[in-house]
């Protein structure tokens, strides 16, 4: 089943300068405090952590999956939820900046684009409000020859400014100058409070457009034993890059929800596993991701599981039968 709204307003532009500004001198002081460390090359996240980039694009993670200081990728479904790394403790003003962001934080990275570095034209899969995720930038040091081309528009964001960009669109970064360009890149979940920092011309889109707002999350307080069950899922449900294929896919593979001292986990044959985070009413999202993809346990004479994916205001749902797994 698919529920959608076709009359929604569109995103006003590819980027927006946000209603905040930061002290450039204090940003630079925090940057200097961590520059003596050798930053690692960026890695991407696809079906797990990918290969490192071939251009001089180096990362220092301030928040990362599980708080792992070696992770330069932004994470994604199936990884741990993000936590502070050791580096954030050394950057007190950056902590203050992050505390002012009115949204739950995911990965936060200092990203240094070296002299002569030019990225490929690419897009960041599902990094946009339609999937409940926003990518924000705080430039720290830059110059005229360091540019971002986002959806065909050239940007030169300045130190101390605060920007949103829709990086699900095609883009590239380029630095033809002699000095590195460093931004703090903040990934966060889209919630209604985040709209407050966007300009007036964005408010109609944020209120009525194809935006997925993440709901407040609550701890699961029921009997953990009722969560363990087996069922079958279409393979695309476990592929976070797919959009809308899974309800119409006839193929099924075995899946199981398990409960351990470490938490709740979805296992999908042959070898995928996804830690789960409770949202509300026995509905869980994938750890490391937004509520774009959830499953909800439905009780009744025949226990079932509701599989859901979301894009903006569109919800795709498939309900499958399940069998309880009793502890031995």
CA distance linking residue 181 with residue 218, whole number of Å: 39
Strand partners, 113: 57, 181
Query: For 195, left (φ over 0), alpha (ψ -120 to 50), or beta?
Result: alpha
pLDDT for res 50: 42
Tokens of residue 45, six digits: 């996240």
For range 211-221, the mean pLDDT: 95
328 confidence band (pLDDT: 50, 70, 90): low
Q: Cα separations (Å) of 182 from 58, 113, 137? A: 9, 6, 10
Q: Does residue 195 surpass a pLDDT of 60?
A: yes
Which DSSP letter does residue 118 get?
B
pLDDT for res 326: 80
CA distance linking residue 282 with residue 265, whole number of Å: 13
Q: Does residue 44 surpass a pLDDT of 70?
A: no
Every domain range in the chain assigned CATH 2.60.120.330: 2-208
| H or E, element range at 31 | helix 24-34
- Beta strands 40-41 and 57-65 are antiparallel
For range 10-29, the mean pLDDT: 97
**What pTM, to 2 d.p., does this model score?**
0.91
User: Alpha carbon 220 to chain centroid distance?
Assistant: 23
pLDDT for res 51: 42
Residue 181's Cβ-side half-sphere holds a number of Cα atoms within 13 Å equal to: 26
| H or E, element range at 206 | helix 203-208
CA distance linking residue 32 with residue 184, whole number of Å: 13
| H or E, element range at 172 | strand 171-175
Q: Buried b vs exposed e over 229-242: b needs ≥16 C-beta within 10 Å?
A: bbbebbbbbbbbee
Q: What is the CATH number of domain 2-208?
A: 2.60.120.330
| Tokens 């889209």, residue located | 190
CA distance linking residue 196 with residue 189, whole number of Å: 14
């Amino acid at each position: 089943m698919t529920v959608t709204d076709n009359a929604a307003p569109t995103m006003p532009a590819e980027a927006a300068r946000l209603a905040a500004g930061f002290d450039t001198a204090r940003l630079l002081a925090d940057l200097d405090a961590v520059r003596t460390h050798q930053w690692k090359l960026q890695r991407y996240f696809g079906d797990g952590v990918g290969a490192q980039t071939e251009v001089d694009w180096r990362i220092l993670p301030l928040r990362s999956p599980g708080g792992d200081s070696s992770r330069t990728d932004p994470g994604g479904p199936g990884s741990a939820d993000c936590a502070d790394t050791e580096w954030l403790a050394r950057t007190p003003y950056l902590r203050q900046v992050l505390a002012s962001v009115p949204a739950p934080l995911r990965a936060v990275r200092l990203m240094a684009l070296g002299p002569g570095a030019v990225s490929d034209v690419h897009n960041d899969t599902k990094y946009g409000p339609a999937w409940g995720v926003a990518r924000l930038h705080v430039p720290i040091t830059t110059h005229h020859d360091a540019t971002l081309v986002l959806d065909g528009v050239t940007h030169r964001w300045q130190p101390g400014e605060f920007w949103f960009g829709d990086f699900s669109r095609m883009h590239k970064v380029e630095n033809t100058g002699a000095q590195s360009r460093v931004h703090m890149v903040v990934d966060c979940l889209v919630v209604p409070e985040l709209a407050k920092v966007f300009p007036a011309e964005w408010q109609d889109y944020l209120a009525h457009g194809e935006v997925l707002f993440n709901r407040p999350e609550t701890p699961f307080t029921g009997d953990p034993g009722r969560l363990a069950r087996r069922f079958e899922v279409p393979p695309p449900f476990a592929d976070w890059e797919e959009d809308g294929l899974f309800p119409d896919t006839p193929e099924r593979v075995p899946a199981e929800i398990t409960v351990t001292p470490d938490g709740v986990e979805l296992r999908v044959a042959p070898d995928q596993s996804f830690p789960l985070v409770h949202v509300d009413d026995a509905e869980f999202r994938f750890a490391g991701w937004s509520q774009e993809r959830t499953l909800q346990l439905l009780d009744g004479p025949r226990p079932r599981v509701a599989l859901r994916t979301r894009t903006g205001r569109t919800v795709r749902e498939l309900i499958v039968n399940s069998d309880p797994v009793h502890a031995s």
